[in-house]
Amino acid sequence: MNKAYIIPDEWAIIEEGFDPARVPASESIFSIGNGYMGQRANFEEDYSGKSLQGNYIGGIYYPDKTRVGWWKNGYPEYFAKVLNAPNWIGIHIKIEDEILDLNRVDVLSFRQELNMKEDWLKRSFRVKFNSGNILDVESQRFISMKRKELGVIKYRVKAENFSGKIQIAPYIDAGIKNQDANYDEFFWKINDIETEGDQAFINSETLKTGFKVCTAMQNVFTLNGIEFRPEKTIYKKEKSLDFQYNINLSEGDELILYKYAAVTQSMNYDEKDLKPAAQKVLNEAVATGYESLLEEQKTAWQKIWETADIEIKGDIKAQQGIRFNILQLNHTYTGEDARLNIGPKGFTGEKYGGSTYWDTEAYCIPFYLSTKDKQVAKNLLVYRYNHLDKAIENAEKLGFTNAAALYPMVTMNGEECHNEWEITFEEIHRNGAMVYAIYNYVNYTGDYDYIVQKGMEVIIAIARFWQQRANFSSDKNKYVILGVTGPNEYENNVHNNFYTNYLAKWNLEYALENLERLKQEFPVDYQRIIDKTNLTKKETAQWQKVASEMYLPYDDKRRIFLQQDGFLDKEIRPASALSPAERPINQHWSWDRILRSCYIKQADVLQGLYFFENRFDKKDLTRHFDFYEPLTVHESSLSPCVHSILASSIGKDDKAYEMYLRTARLDLDDYNHEVDEGLHITSMAGTWLSVVQGFGGMRNFDNKLIFNPKIPKQWQSYAFKINYNGVILKIYKSQTETIISNLSDETVTFYLNDKEVRLNGHRNIQL
């Protein structure tokens, strides 16, 4: 199967021709969503071929019992799973007595399109049944950006060469499973299935977690453009409900089914209100009508693209790739609800079943900060603030005291639910990303109030963790952090991972710096926080000591920080010496061999230099890059973007472009041979970073907004917009010119190629 089968187009993802081997991959790629819910592009009609059924609702999870070989104290009892939720897209179709199933009929033509500008999914196909009957089908569906609880389908069938009976049965089904269930259990219980006039409802509930969901549908038909109400038979089954319609078609007739679906859930309503709320969504949607709802969808997306779009001229595949990533990030998280977050696979698959990783803080925050109103990124921070008590409990379970917090590696509700000891217990650098995200947000927005009201408590609890986690080595006469896993998960239980130690040191310093500022500028809040956290002078003095005496492994000869103690004992051979047959090494080598090797899964030391680039000069960066880049195998999708940004910054333009290519079309061209499992949503934010921070050279250090735009020689031009505290700036770069336009009324100050620029509203600067 050709993996790169998506047809290049600036605003659409297109697949032509039917290949059953591609179905699971396309189900991921053509996924839709609106931040509240989302789904894989499963077919509406029956399909007996290979498929991963997936429809998900933000925040709804199940605690699947942990399955491990050797239980270790401190493991979480369960692994929270993003749950496959009741299916509302299904439509059974029979022509005479033959089922419409693309795996069983002769598919004469097939085209699928995900329109990115307007955000709808369309499939058009013609099939021939054994009887010789040819049916022409076009289905279009979308999940409404405006009405979050609404999904709609327009399903058109045309009897091309026959007259006869069509049985069409739209249904809702709560009899769904997760393919990755640890014990093959069913995670839903059905409370009731009911109908009221033209509407049907399934009230279901997740076992253990008790989330209640009402899934509802209503169907409207037209025949040759005229609305009609065919007789229906109701089939109420144990876990699903069909409305079945038998309609006689004459040759050439066009039947359209408009299926409206509503999904309401108990995070937003009392149980008794779930059904009335779903009913309201349906009533209003039906009254508005499909075409007007589609118009609303277009308008909502026009607004999103206004600030989020990146235009690339001269490279259609790059254009398609970046828009696809922006689209899918918006499908996953839209930022109205601080209880939701960004799962690495979003609403496109089950793997990485837990919702939230450090990916959010380390990679996604800048995307949302620059493409949306600041409340969106703030909600991501508030999500962690609301989990602070759980992070403290989590640290207590591991033996920490005095309200030190360890945020989980993977979580749905604040509790840790990852269970590999090397990661659960050791990959503690994630704690640092929580603080870095606060710093990033405050630096960009100037909203210091966030630290005053919420952020400081998080920073204090994390500082406490670092102080307790470090220990004094009398041998080194320094503080050390032992037994960790850095971002490079191809090393476990290492001592003094540079990234972790550096971040810990910075976290402690940042905590002290902010305490001082609060004391001076917000004395009342300062006292409130001190009282609430019982913070003592003795404690902060200890933070100071640990920070100033933190050990950072360094090689004097090469003048580089070492990834960890002893890194140079390894046999250092560039990854280019590996044969392609050995890559990715995680699929070809034993774990033992990987651990001993010098190969780096993802940016580690370089991740640190990227976060703190303002503290290193270009020569430092280049030395580190030249040492670590050749050893990095980029077997995490989060890796190439960081290398691309740094490469741009140090003038390695070809490398920057090469790394950019590895992230830009990762899923569209299925580089990692796993797109069928879902999309790499969080690394999509990394691609955006590669363009905006990499080629665009945008930085935001010390409250300064900086641009140093460059352009890959393969492109004619590119342009991106950012929302900088309500001011929309457009950055345009071609091979010959750079133009920055202020599209808002207010004056804005930034640095362009190291020179300060004050740009009035609706003015450009052109170089």
Cβ(695)–Cβ(648) under 8 Å?
Answer: yes
With CA atoms as reference, report the closest residue to 361 among 300, 431, 304.
431
Residues annotated as catalytic are 489
**Which CB sits closer to ligand BGC, 454 or 680?**
680
Kindly state the greatest CA–CA separation across the chain.
90
CA separation, residue 336 to residues 38, 117, 683 (Å)? 16, 22, 22
**Which CB sits closer to ligand BGC, 638 or 698?**
638
Cβ(246)–Cβ(167) under 8 Å?
Answer: yes
Least distance (Å) from ligand BGC to the CB of residue 576?
22
Cβ(744)–Cβ(758) under 8 Å?
Answer: no
Q: Choose which of 321, 344, 349, 455 interacts with ligand BGC (CB under 6 A).
A: 344
Binding mask 590-609 for ligand BGC (x = CB under 6 A): ------------x-------
Least distance (Å) from ligand BGC to the CB of residue 635?
8
Residue whose beta carbon is closest to ligand BGC? 344
345-404 residues near ligand BGC, rule: CB under 6 A:
352, 357-359
**Which CB sits closer to ligand BGC, 587 or 614?**
587
Q: Count residues binding ligand BGC (CB under 6 A).
A: 11
**Which CB sits closer to ligand BGC, 189 or 351?**
351
Cβ(690)–Cβ(653) under 8 Å?
Answer: no
442-501 residues near ligand BGC, rule: CB under 6 A:
487, 489
Radius of gyration of the chain (CA): 27
Q: How far apart are CA 504 and CA 486, in angstroms?
A: 12
Secondary structure class of 172 (helix, strand, coil):
strand
User: Which residues, in sequence order, are CB contacts of 763 under 8 Å at separation 6+?
Assistant: 741, 742
**Which CB sits closer to ligand BGC, 249 or 684?**
684
Least distance (Å) from ligand BGC to the CB of residue 423?
8
681-710 residues near ligand BGC, rule: CB under 6 A:
682
Q: How far apart are CA 204 and CA 188, in angstroms?
A: 7
Secondary structure class of 514 (helix, strand, coil):
helix
**Which CB sits closer to ligand BGC, 426 or 489?**
489
Binding mask 609-648 for ligand BGC (x = CB under 6 A): ---------------------------x-x----------
With CA atoms as reference, report the closest residue to 497 among 630, 651, 602, 369.
602
Least distance (Å) from ligand BGC to the CB of residue 682?
5
Cβ(720)–Cβ(749) under 8 Å?
Answer: no
Least distance (Å) from ligand BGC to the CB of residue 395?
19
Least distance (Å) from ligand BGC to the CB of residue 489?
5
Q: Which residue has the tokens 């945008």?
A: 698
DSSP structure string for 646-683:
HHHHTT-HHHHHHHHHHHHTTTTTTTTS-GGG---HHH
Q: How far apart are CA 154 and CA 121, in angstroms?
A: 10
With CA atoms as reference, report the closest residue to 19 among 40, 39, 3, 41.
3
**Which CB sits closer to ligand BGC, 273 or 422?**
422
Least distance (Å) from ligand BGC to the CB of residue 681?
9
Binding site for ligand BGC (CB under 6 A): 344, 352, 357-359, 487, 489, 602, 636, 638, 682
